Amino acid sequence: MNPRNVAIVFGKEVLDIVRDRRTLLFMVLLPIAIIPLLVLVLGKVTEAGIERLERTPSRVALLGERWAPVPVLELLRHLEDPEAAGRWLAAQLAGGAPHPFVAGLLMPDADAQPGLAGAPVGPRGGGTGEEQAGPVLERARRLRLLRVVALEVRSPVLARALAQAPAELLDPQALAPAPGGGSAAGPHAAAEPAPPAGGAEPAAAELSPALLARARQELCAEAAAAIEQGRLDAVLIFHPGFAEALERGYGARYTVLVDEAQDRSSIARNKIEALFERGARGVTRAQLVRAGLDPEVLQPVRGQVRNVGRERNLLALFLPYLVIIMCFSGALYPAIDLGAGEKERGTLETLLLTPARRSELVAGKFLVVLLAGLLAAALNVASLSLTLASGWAEARGIALVFEPLAAVLTVLLMVPTAAIFAALLLAISVYARSFREAQSYAVPLNFLVIVPAFFSMIPGFELDPILALVPVLNVTLALKEIWTGTVQAGMLALIFASTAAYAAVAILACAAWFRRESVLFRA
Amino acid sequence: MIEVRELSKIYRAGRGRRVVALERVSFTCRPGEVYGLLGPNGAGKTTALRVLATALAPSAGTAAIDGLDIAREPDAVRRRLGFLSATTGLYGRLTAREMVQYFGRLYGMSRAEVARRTAELFAALGMSGFADRRCDALSTGMKQKVGIARTLVHDPPVLILDEPTAGLDVLTARAIVELVRRCRAEGKCVLFSTHDMAEAQKLCDRIGILHRGRLWAEGTVAEILARAGTSELEEAFLRLTGAASEPAGEAGGTAAEAVAS
């Protein structure tokens, strides 16, 4: 092989490719842009979407209000606007001891360390309202917003049942989620024993159980329709005896009717559940205080974990997959252009008739494709590192460690991997008669690359001596371990050797392929 | 000088089928001579020229270019050959100059040699106006000239032109006609294929009639006309190949026909 001819072919192909805007797109722009695009834009968009849904008050219709404690109802009616909620909460505090359920909203988070998350606000402190107005407003601003709306009752059966026998209609057992169906009830509803229906009004005798059952069906159907049509996000039902049970300290029951398929309905459900959970903690706390116990007994055990090893490296998650994919797609376009492109343009024949040997032509073209794949992979790693280092990861408390040694090992492993891709793609490309044909051949190959690369993202899928011999998969797994810092030298050597061997076979096969008349001059 | 002896080429068409594209073809083309392979599509012209140009290996028989065997010394043969066909394309993103120089370099010429030769050819072909424009942006006629310059860059003593005027308009085809005439004047050996009888009659010193992979008649246009006893080359072609009486005929079934191996 004459290196002069290889260099001539290489130089011409580089010039040709650099002048092509499409290559620039796939080889340079895509690998650079895809990470920031994916991570930043997509992340921002979803965050913004969720935040918007969280900030918009969820519309909740109430049923069984007569069984709800007045402060809880009032609280619900003040949750539409954070300022209003703050003022109302501050007024409650200023007016002496608020209802324990309301006080629960002002308690610090359960998982927060005492003394760390700001002074606990609530009845224990017993301070004046003015002192606490600041933190209360601050906390109110973070409240999740709800708006109470009316449920339009259209079914006459349901209207009659609501008017004549609400206690029976809204019996928690009867409204329990259907077996096998999606849970529509709050987590507190089903688990606890039915409370004595102490405050229930006497049921109207003329409503038969069958009629009540139908009314309940109508209720669910109307709630579903109202949610689907966008008039409501959820229905909150206070069951008979709620207020008394809450006073007693246990057994208060509610049900939320939701449509899990609707995001806004799921969010409403989450907000309601969070609200009741906090309120319930307030009630428990008040009970403990009343019984003369320290509220800290709620947390008899407190554990903590401290990582003494290396930090979990976020790069290990993304990098192997992306590097492999980018390397492949970076090599794809030049490979097609250098093989099938020559056939399509009608330049291959004249090229083959020059005194340059086939091996020299293949070598020059192969090196260009190899370089394209490696360049795409390198740009991708650089872009990934910069994106993650730009504060995005830090802001989320995700560890990002860019280690020079890992980068060197990555390059070392990617060279033979890119060589396999380049040789295979070039072989496919020169066999195809046109660009389009080459692209259709490359699709299945693309899958063969994506699938093993994808395996590297599955937790617990680890290298062993057999997997170390599976092309592509071995490299992705090795890259993952390189970036988590757990790779073993022996395994790495085995993977490098096997990948280099596959690359050598692929290159030789590609060169032999280039000598076949039936490949070069396909009818 | 092209000497072709008993050249055969058989393609394997899959499932054990073979296609005989060339069957024991022999002819000679001397320096300063234009030899035309005349035949319809599928006669085996392209196969014959590709074998001579060393792109395809012959199945049997031999050929020599300037005394060099195409099978044994393909590299030396290629240095002596200029090859151009109607389907030959250009690298659209290279300029005309880069295109010609790339091939010059691959023919083993030094940078200085290539630069000198390119300037010479561009001047002779009237290409100076678009030498540094990308091939993408050239008209058909300009592209044709780039192709010609590429073919001649290493100053080959032997030219092989595969249907060089197919699909070209009259003006563009003129460039090819001039190329052929100039090469003959320079003492080069020009072998070209065509299915255009009038073109063959106009340009060729000698003609070989190729049909179904076999050479049916050879000689000057006058000789062939005399042998066929007609004044028209087209009529001569039909009479000499027996194509007029197709598909019957003992000769018709031999070549370019799929036969079980």
Q: Which of A287, A277, A274 is nearest to A247 (CA)?
A: A287
CB contact under 8 A, B75 and A355: yes
Give the distance, in angstroms, between the CA of residue A426 and the centroid of all CA atoms in the same chain.
37
Indicate the residue type of A296. Answer: E
Q: Which of A65, A18, A38, A9 is nearest to A322 (CA)?
A: A38
pLDDT of A239 > 60? The answer is yes
Determine how many CB atoms are found less than 10 A away from the CB of residue A120.
Answer: 17
Which residue in the block uniquely carries the two structure tokens 């706390």? Answer: A285
Task: State the smallest CA–CA distance between residue A29 and chain B in angstroms.
Answer: 20
Q: CA-CA distance, A523 to A422, in Å (whole number)?
A: 25
Which token pair is A152? Answer: 């339009």
Report yes or no: A21 at the B interface, CB cutoff 8 Å.
no
Of B57, B94, B108, the CB nearest to A517: B57
Find the residue in A nearest to B154 (Cα).
Answer: A354
List phi, psi (to 5°) of B24. 45, 60
User: Which of B55, B89, B102 shows the shortest C-beta gap to A352?
Assistant: B55
Question: Are the beta carbons of A237 and A175 closer than 8 angstroms?
Answer: yes
Amino acid A365 reads K
Q: 């009259």: which residue's tokens?
A: B170
CB A347 to CB B88 under 8 A?
yes
CA distance B87 to chain A (A): 6
Nearest to A19 among B56, B57, B93 (CB): B93
Q: Please state, as a whole number, how many other Cβ atoms lie within 10 Å of the Cβ of residue B3.
A: 16
% of chain B residues with pLDDT over 90:
56
What CA–CA distance (Å, rounded) separates B140 from B172?
Answer: 7
pLDDT at res. B259: 36
Contact B146, B96 (CB under 8 A): yes
Q: Parse chain B into domains and list their residue ranges.
A: 2-80+159-165+176-260, 86-155
Please write the tens of the pLDDT for every residue from A40-65. 777 777 777 777 777 789 999 999 99
- pLDDT by 10s per residue, chain B, length 261: 999 999 999 988 777 788 888 999 999 999 999 999 998 888 889 999 999 999 899 999 999 999 999 999 998 999 999 999 888 899 999 999 999 999 999 999 999 999 999 999 999 999 999 999 999 999 988 998 999 999 999 999 999 999 888 878 888 788 888 889 999 999 999 999 988 888 888 889 999 999 988 998 899 988 988 988 888 888 888 888 876 545 443 443 444 443 333
> Which positions ≥6 away from A366 have C-beta within 8 Å?
A419, A422, A423, A426, A507, A510
Closest chain A C-alpha to B6 CA, distance in angstroms: 21
On whether ipTM exceeds 0.85, the answer is yes
Report the residue from B54, B56, B78 with minimal CB separation from A521.
B56
Total residue length of chain A? 523
* 8 Å CB contact between A234 and A60: yes
Supply B82's token pair. Answer: 């200029």
Separation CA A329–CA B63 (nearest Å): 45
Tokens found for residue A93: 């505090």
A–B: how many Cβ contacts below 8 A? 70
Question: CB B89 to CB A355 under 8 A?
Answer: no
Give kind and range of the element (H or E) at residue A148.
strand A146-149
* Residue in chain A nearest B58 by alpha carbon: A517
Contact at CB, A353 and B150, closer than 8 angstroms: no
A351 and B106 in contact by Cβ < 8 A?
yes
Q: What is the three-class DSSP state of B22?
A: strand
Q: From CA B97, how far away is CA B118, in angstroms rounded?
A: 7
d(CA A74, CA A71): 5
Amino acid present at A112: A
CB A256 within 8 Å of CB A273: yes
Helix (H) or strand (E) holding B256: none
pLDDT reported for residue A462: 78
Q: What is the pLDDT of residue A406?
A: 85
- Judge: A346–B108 Cβ closer than 8 Å, yes or no: no
Q: Looking at the partner chain, which of B84, B89, B106 has a beta carbon nearest the beta carbon of A354?
A: B106
A521/B55 Cβ within 8 A:
yes
Mean pLDDT of A454-460: 77
Alpha carbon distance B34, A200 (integer Å): 115
Q: Which two tokens stand for residue A79?
A: 């949750």
Q: What does the block give as tokens for A35?
A: 């990470």
Interval B69-95: pLDDT, tens: 999 999 899 999 999 988 889 999 999
A120 φ/ψ angles, rounded to the nearest 5 degrees: -60, 135
d(CA A160, CA A155): 9
Cβ of residue A351 closer than 8 Å to a chain B Cβ: yes
Average pLDDT over residues A264-269: 90
Q: Cβ A355–B108 below 8 Å, yes or no?
A: yes
- The pLDDT confidence band at residue A392, using thresholds 50, 70 and 90, is low
Q: Which CATH class, in words, describes the domain spanning B2-80+159-165+176-260?
A: alpha beta
Question: What is the side-by-side order of every strand in the sheet holding B189-194?
Answer: B81-85, B158-162, B189-194, B34-38, B206-211, B214-219
Quote the pLDDT of residue A178. Answer: 67
**In angstroms, how far apart are the furthest CA atoms of chain B?**
60
With an 8 Å Cβ cutoff, are B85 and A349 in contact? yes
- Specify the pLDDT at position A225: 93
pLDDT tens for A131-180 read 455 666 677 667 788 999 988 888 898 999 988 888 888 888 888 876 65
Nearest by CB to B55, from A345, A353, A356: name it.
Answer: A353
Q: What is the pLDDT of residue B198?
A: 84
Residues of B in contact with A20 (CB under 8 A): 93
Judged by a CB distance cut-off of 8 A, whether residue A356 touches chain B is yes
Q: How close is the nearest chain A Cα to the Cα of B44, in Å?
A: 13
Q: How far apart are CA B61 and CA B191, in angstroms?
A: 19
Burial status of residue B76 (CB atoms within 10 A of its CB: 0-12, 13-18, 19 or more): middle
Lowest mean pLDDT among A79-83, A156-160, A252-256, A456-460: A456-460
Predicted confidence band of residue A181 (pLDDT cuts 50, 70, 90): very low
